Amino acid sequence: MHYKQKLGSRLFDAANYGFMLLLVVVTVYPLLNVIAISFSNADFISLGQVSWYPKGFNVKGYGVIFDNPMLYISYKNTVLYAATGTLLTLFLTSMMAYPLTVSDFRLKKAITIFLAVTMFFSGGMIPTYLIMKELHLLNTFWVMVVPGCISAYNVIIFRTFFQNISSELRESAYMDGANDLTVLFRIYLPLSKALLATFALFTIVAHWNEWFNALIYLKDENKYPLQMFLRSIIFTQQEGQSGQVRDMIQNRQINPKNIQMAAIVITMAPILCMYPFVQKYFIKGVMLGSIKG
């Protein structure tokens, strides 16, 4: 049976397509502009003639970035922060969310209220800094990992997802002699791959983009994450340039924006490459709880 759309429906679809196309252009154009500038000749950049495709071909900006040893140090630090932080976040959030799904857990209501309160109120930056200081976490690896491991929002989402898993599975596991840890790690988490993949992606992106905590808590440059390296390139580039780079800029072999945009491309490339591999889990994850059987 062929369904014939009415004029109003077709106009609505056309408006949606037009809006989505506009949204794609607004989203993609800045990215293409950054990539184009990173590969363009200095003269075209100075004249402001680079839009969404490169003019000329110049990779000297990338050469300057790859010759900087801090790039590799900050990349290593960010990978370690992201990997450790993601594993701890998923592990601790699952451990906290699971008891809230057990009907006879006596502290379930009190913990839920406590979590809800923390979503609206916080101690602020200075008390948080003093806590980090008292815990001797300042200028350490763990200050970039531990503070953000547990989020009330994440716990509530995990709890909601776990509640949608049949309670009969847990009861049958109890009858077979399993304890709660076995139920969580052998039953619940294997059934929560979409949830775990979605929040793993969110957590990795958050750690990858993290710079403010490093600015506050870290003093050792060898512990700086990648975004602090990018910040130093963009905001303090003139002070940190070597004599060779300054000569290249004066001779118009390279433009400072070549270096800045090359640093941005190198910084965001891993995240862009990772998205296609987790997209299917991401789509499932964002639909959690939207359809009830």
CA distances from 208 to 5, 145, 155, 237, 246 (A): 46, 12, 21, 21, 30
A 10 A CB-CB count for 146 gives 17
Sketch the domain layout of the chain as residue ranges. 1-58, 60-286
Residue recorded with tokens 């369904």: 3
Higher pLDDT: 208 or 6? It is: 208
Higher pLDDT: 27 or 236? It is: 27
Structure tokens at 18: 């037009």
Mean predicted lDDT score pLDDT of the chain: 84
Confidence check: pLDDT of 177 > 90: no
Contact 233, 65 (CB under 8 A): yes
Confidence check: pLDDT of 79 > 90: yes
How far is the C-alpha of 4 from the C-alpha of 157, rounded, in Å? 41
Percentage of the chain surpassing pLDDT 70? 87
Smallest Cα–Cα separation from 263: which of 244, 245, 243? 245
What's the CATH code, domain 60-286?
1.10.3720.10
pLDDT on residue 292: 45
Structure tokens at 200: 């793993």
Confidence check: pLDDT of 240 > 60: no
- Averaged pLDDT for residues 115-128: 86
- Give the tens place of pLDDT for each residue, 107-121: 888 988 888 888 888
How far is the C-alpha of 209 from the C-alpha of 205, rounded, in Å? 6
| HSE value, Cβ hemisphere, 13 Å, CA-based, for 179 | 1
Q: At 233, which amino acid appears? A: I
How far is the C-alpha of 118 from the C-alpha of 92, rounded, in Å? 17
pTM confidence score: 0.83
Angle at the Cα of 251 (from 250 to 253), degrees rounded to 5? Answer: 110
Phi, psi of 48 (to 5 degrees): 70, 30
Smallest Cα–Cα separation from 112: which of 163, 159, 180? 159
Structure tokens at 211: 């710079």
How far is the C-alpha of 48 from the C-alpha of 41, rounded, in Å? 11
Confidence check: pLDDT of 154 > 80: yes
Smallest Cα–Cα separation from 257: which of 50, 53, 45? 45
